[in-house]
């Protein structure tokens, strides 16, 4: 059995040792030559050559390990995909005739069709399947809403400026790119330096502005375009600010997410649902983020489509009745333990992940499973899809558990769906800010005497002590568990004060006895009033679509093998056009039959294009393969036609009056091509592919 491959650290150390040996031998050769001694020079030179060969082999092994050898191939593939997408008008830069604006794109006809089909499938897979309540809320959001949610204060990225030109860059991206570039391309890095760069990448999200600035300065990072020095990092709020109404007094923002519209409507939705939990609300809509330096095409843009679900559930019962439907799914999962130990994602059964507590609860697990099915049925390669758990430094203090569905493309692993158990944070925040209780009720069959924890922060004393940080301290006190609260009560009674960690501040504060009252009170209750927890799957539709473009793209040789033909293997459910109709030759009878067939396809709700141009049938096939059309109908008689499947290029013979029903079965997933090829005779004739 072969041993395990050497680690990157071992390979770097081996290269460093061989390079040191080369340097030492080169010095020995120079000394021999300088001394004028002829004896031994030839042997020393041969030894130097042998050492250089060994060092070269060590460098190649390291290069293969860090993966830089595949960079050119990934870039070449990406360019082929993007060139095809732009040439066939799937999407193009917005305002192109005015040189465009970074981070804004227009979808052309096939791109619009793919997006529409993805969203239609999303509605079918989630909204219809789960009887969700769909809403549509405004993009313009009053400031008070986004103050309550924390976006006004915290929705920021750290930015640096070119000190001479004023060009802005996202600070963490510059540091990340520098470290990754060094790790992938600088084979002379010592193992210790490589380990330092990896550590920086691991804690990047945790670095303060001062720490980030110090690293940029330490590594000598400058503006990428001009090589000018950079300013110190400072926070930049990513929301687009506007004013509501003509006076300019009512501040608003273009929403950075669609979720807040659902949260503020919780009370009405709860009553609409018969005051029953659990239930889910869903929304598809535009969101806006004023990215500092948009890049990577559709992956990081300033206006984009989100599809979000807010599933409201009793915090004391997060089981899910349909979890059994997804429990046996097995896919790549990347829990935090594997990340922290430097291992890779592993195939894991969802039931096992939930039962072991890797995934916090069944409801969260259920939605992870449903997201997996959604993405793979769209056409995402399951081998390049993983679910990565947030590390502790990524988690909000209130979140119970968070996972990202990450899809691998030429840019690396891209977060496309976030699935988070956000606890009761959002509803509590809006309840406090608005004064409207966003709560649910559980009525008891008999009154119950219960002992309840009562935490009453003294906002006056806390305000005097903590000024602008008062709100965060109050939230942290109110979020204490019963054990934490009773431990604090005991400490305050015995010592009069204690240190208390406030996660949102990132430090301990001193709480005195007069700042908070903690007690357990007995009450008779006829119902339980509580704030529901929220499990939120949030889908970046543009990111999913771009990854789908890459996963669906391939090339194949033409029949003459003189050129490579581009193909998108979109599943029928998302293909922009479901079929094409081609009269085999310019012939009035065939043209008339094609027009009748087109009417029948339209009546059946099947998108199609009819091509009566005189170019060869093979060229017409290639032209529609390039936009991912799954089926082509060739009209060569008034009674029968051939239907050709895009990827296999197989053809079957079908009566002209059956075409619409056959294509509908295929595009709606009621039949597979294998089913159809068994049912109808195969066909090979003069109209077969000429590509």
Q: Of 51, 66, 81, which closes a domain?
A: 66
Q: Is residue 256 part of a domain?
A: no
Stretch 85-107: mean pLDDT:
94
**Structure confidence at residue 68 (pLDDT):** 46
**Structure confidence at residue 546 (pLDDT):** 97
Domain span at residue 511 reads 445-530
Out of 447-461, 527-541, 613-627, the most confident range is 527-541
Residue 126 CA to residue 513 CA, distance in Å, equals 50
Q: Is residue 452 part of a domain?
A: yes
Do 277 and 383 fall within a single domain?
Answer: yes
**Structure confidence at residue 36 (pLDDT):** 73
Stated pTM of the model: 0.81
Q: State the total domains in the chain.
A: 5
**Structure confidence at residue 689 (pLDDT):** 47
Do 520 and 404 fall within a single domain?
Answer: no
**Structure confidence at residue 339 (pLDDT):** 86
Query: The domain that contains 277 carries what CATH number?
Result: 3.30.930.10
**Structure confidence at residue 71 (pLDDT):** 64
Binning the chain into helix, strand and coil, the percentages to the nearest 5 are 45, 25, 30
**Structure confidence at residue 615 (pLDDT):** 83
Residue 338 CA to residue 344 CA, distance in Å, equals 6
Stretch 490-507: mean pLDDT:
88
**Structure confidence at residue 417 (pLDDT):** 97
Do 522 and 617 fall within a single domain?
Answer: no
**Structure confidence at residue 69 (pLDDT):** 45
Q: Is residue 278 part of a domain?
A: yes
Share of the chain above pLDDT 90, in %: 60
Sequence length of the chain is 691
Single out the residue of 637, 669, 668 nearest to residue 654, CA to CA: 637
Stretch 490-513: mean pLDDT:
89
Q: Do 193 and 181 touch, CB atoms closer than 8 A?
A: no
Do 306 and 419 fall within a single domain?
Answer: yes
**Structure confidence at residue 67 (pLDDT):** 57
**Structure confidence at residue 6 (pLDDT):** 61
Q: Do 516 and 493 touch, CB atoms closer than 8 A?
A: no
Do 500 and 413 fall within a single domain?
Answer: no
Do 224 and 198 fall within a single domain?
Answer: yes
Q: Is residue 622 part of a domain?
A: yes
Name the band, by pLDDT with cuts 50, 70 and 90, for residue 685: low
- What DSSP character marks residue 240? P
What is the per-residue pLDDT across 444-489, written as a single tens digit (0 to 9) for each?
888 888 888 899 999 899 999 998 889 889 988 988 888 889 999 9
Q: Of 522, 542, 562, which closes a domain?
A: 542
> Strand locations in 505-578, DSSP E?
507-512, 516-530, 533-540, 553-557, 564-568
Name the band, by pLDDT with cuts 50, 70 and 90, for residue 3: very low
Name the band, by pLDDT with cuts 50, 70 and 90, for residue 688: very low
Q: Is residue 367 part of a domain?
A: yes
Average pLDDT, the chain: 89
Cis-peptide, bond into residue 278, ω within 30° of zero: yes
Do 510 and 637 fall within a single domain?
Answer: no
Q: Is residue 658 part of a domain?
A: yes
Do 356 and 417 fall within a single domain?
Answer: yes
Lowest mean pLDDT among 16-20, 294-298, 387-391: 16-20
Lowest mean pLDDT among 143-152, 189-198, 415-424: 189-198
What is the per-residue pLDDT across 376-431, written as a single tens digit (0 to 9) for each?
999 999 999 999 999 887 777 778 899 999 999 998 899 999 999 999 999 999 99
Query: The domain that contains 494 carries what CATH number?
Result: 3.30.720.200
Do 367 and 317 fall within a single domain?
Answer: yes
Q: Of 507, 530, 553, which closes a domain?
A: 530
**Structure confidence at residue 181 (pLDDT):** 85
Residue 102 CA to residue 603 CA, distance in Å, equals 41
Alpha carbons within 13 angstroms on the beta-carbon side of residue 490 total 6
**Structure confidence at residue 439 (pLDDT):** 95
Name the band, by pLDDT with cuts 50, 70 and 90, for residue 146: very high
Name the band, by pLDDT with cuts 50, 70 and 90, for residue 492: very high
Q: Do 456 and 474 touch, CB atoms closer than 8 A?
A: no
**499 has a pLDDT exceeding 70:** yes
**9 has a pLDDT exceeding 70:** no
Identify the burial level of 419 via C-beta atoms within 10 angstroms of its C-beta, where 0-12 means exposed, 13-18 middle and 19 or more buried: buried
**Structure confidence at residue 202 (pLDDT):** 75
Q: Do 146 and 238 touch, CB atoms closer than 8 A?
A: no
**Structure confidence at residue 111 (pLDDT):** 96
Do 421 and 454 fall within a single domain?
Answer: no
Q: Is residue 230 part of a domain?
A: yes
Do 315 and 362 fall within a single domain?
Answer: yes
Single out the residue of 117, 114, 120 nearest to residue 628, CA to CA: 114
**Structure confidence at residue 687 (pLDDT):** 45
Name the band, by pLDDT with cuts 50, 70 and 90, for residue 1: very low
- For CA atoms 429, 396, 370, 441, give the dihedral sign: negative
**70 has a pLDDT exceeding 60:** no
Helix (H, G, I), strand (E, B) or coil at 308: strand
Q: Is residue 557 part of a domain?
A: no
Single out the residue of 65, 71, 67, 68 nearest to residue 12, CA to CA: 65
What is the per-residue pLDDT across 355-374, written as a single tens digit (0 to 9) for each?
999 999 999 999 999 999 99
**537 has a pLDDT exceeding 50:** yes
Do 413 and 327 fall within a single domain?
Answer: yes
């Amino acid at each position: 059995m072969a041993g395990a491959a050497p680690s990157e650290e071992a390979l770097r150390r081996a290269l460093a040792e061989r390079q040191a040996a080369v340097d030492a031998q080169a010095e020995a050769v120079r000394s021999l030559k300088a001394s004028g001694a002829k004896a031994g020079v030839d042997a020393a030179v041969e030894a130097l050559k042998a050492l250089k060969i060994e060092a070269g082999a060590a460098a190649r092994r390291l290069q293969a390990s860090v993966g830089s050898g595949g960079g050119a191939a990934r870039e070449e593939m990406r360019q082929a995909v993007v060139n095809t997408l732009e040439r066939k008008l799937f999407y193009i830069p917005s305002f192109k005739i005015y040189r465009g604006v970074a981070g804004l794109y227009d979808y052309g006809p096939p791109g619009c069709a793919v997006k529409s089909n993805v969203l239609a499938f999303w509605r079918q897979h989630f909204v219809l399947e789960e009887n969700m309540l769909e809403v549509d809320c405004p993009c313009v959001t009053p400031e008070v809403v986004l103050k309550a949610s924390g976006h006004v204060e915290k929705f920021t990225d750290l930015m640096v400026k070119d000190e001479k030109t004023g060009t802005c860059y996202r600070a963490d991206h510059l540091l990340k790119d520098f470290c990754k570039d060094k790790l992938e391309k600088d084979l002379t890095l010592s193992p210790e330096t490589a380990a330092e760069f990896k550590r920086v990448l691991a804690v990047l999200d945790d670095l303060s502005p001062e720490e980030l600035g110090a690293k940029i300065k330490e590594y000598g990072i400058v503006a990428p375009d001009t090589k000018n020095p950079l300013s110190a990092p400072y926070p930049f709020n990513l929301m687009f600010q506007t004013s509501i109404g003509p006076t300019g007094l009512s501040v608003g923002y273009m929403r950075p997410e669609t979720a807040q519209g659902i949260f503020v409507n919780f009370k009405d939705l709860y009553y609409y649902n018969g005051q029953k939990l659990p239930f889910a609300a869903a929304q598809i809509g535009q969101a806006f983020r004023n990215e500092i330096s948009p890049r990577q095409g559709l992956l990081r843009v300033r206006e984009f489509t989100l599809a979000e679900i807010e599933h409201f559930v009793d915090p004391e019962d997060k089981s899910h009745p349909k979890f059994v439907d997804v429990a046996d799914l097995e896919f790549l999962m990347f829990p935090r333990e594997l990340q922290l130990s430097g291992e890779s994602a592993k195939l894991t059964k969802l039931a096992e992940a939930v039962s072991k507590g890797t995934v916090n609860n069944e409801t969260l697990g259920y939605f992870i499973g449903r997201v997996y099915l959604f993405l793979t049925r769209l056409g995402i390669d399951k081998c390049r899809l993983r679910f990565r758990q947030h590390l502790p430094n990524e988690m909000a203090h209130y979140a119970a558990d968070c996972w990202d569905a990450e899809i691998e493309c030429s840019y690396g692993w891209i977060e496309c769906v976030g699935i988070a158990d956000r606890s009761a944070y959002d509803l509590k925040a809006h309840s406090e800010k608005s004064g409207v209780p966003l709560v649910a009720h559980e009525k008891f069959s008999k009154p119950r005497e219960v002992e309840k924890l009562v935490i009453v922060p003294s906002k006056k004393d806390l305000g005097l002590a903590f000024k602008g940080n008062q709100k965060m301290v109050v939230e942290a006190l109110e979020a204490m568990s019963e054990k934490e609260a009773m431990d604090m009560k005991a400490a305050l009674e015995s010592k009069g004060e204690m240190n208390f960690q406030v996660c949102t501040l990132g430090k301990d504060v001193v709480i005195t006895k007069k700042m908070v009252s903690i007690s357990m009170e007995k009450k008779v209750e006829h119902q339980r009033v509580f704030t529901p927890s929220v499990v939120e799957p949030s889908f970046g539709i543009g990111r999913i679509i771009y990854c789908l473009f890459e996963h669906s793209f391939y090339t194949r040789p033409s029949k003459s093998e003189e050129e490579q033909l581009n193909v998108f293997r979109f599943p029928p459910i998302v293909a922009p056009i479901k079929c094409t109709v081609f009269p085999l030759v310019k012939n009035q009878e065939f043209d008339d039959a094609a027009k009748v067939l087109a009417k029948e396809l339209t009546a059946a709700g099947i998108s199609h294009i009819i091509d009566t141009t005189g170019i060869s049938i093979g060229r017409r096939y290639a032209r529609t393969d390039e936009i991912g059309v799954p089926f082509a109908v060739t009209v060569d008689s008034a009674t029968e036609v051939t239907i050709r499947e895009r990827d296999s290029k197989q053809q079957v013979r079908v009566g002209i009056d059956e075409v619409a029903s056959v294509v509908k079965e295929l595009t709606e997933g009621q039949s597979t091509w294998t089913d159809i090829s068994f049912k109808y005779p195969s066909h090979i004739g003069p109209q077969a592919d000429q590509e």
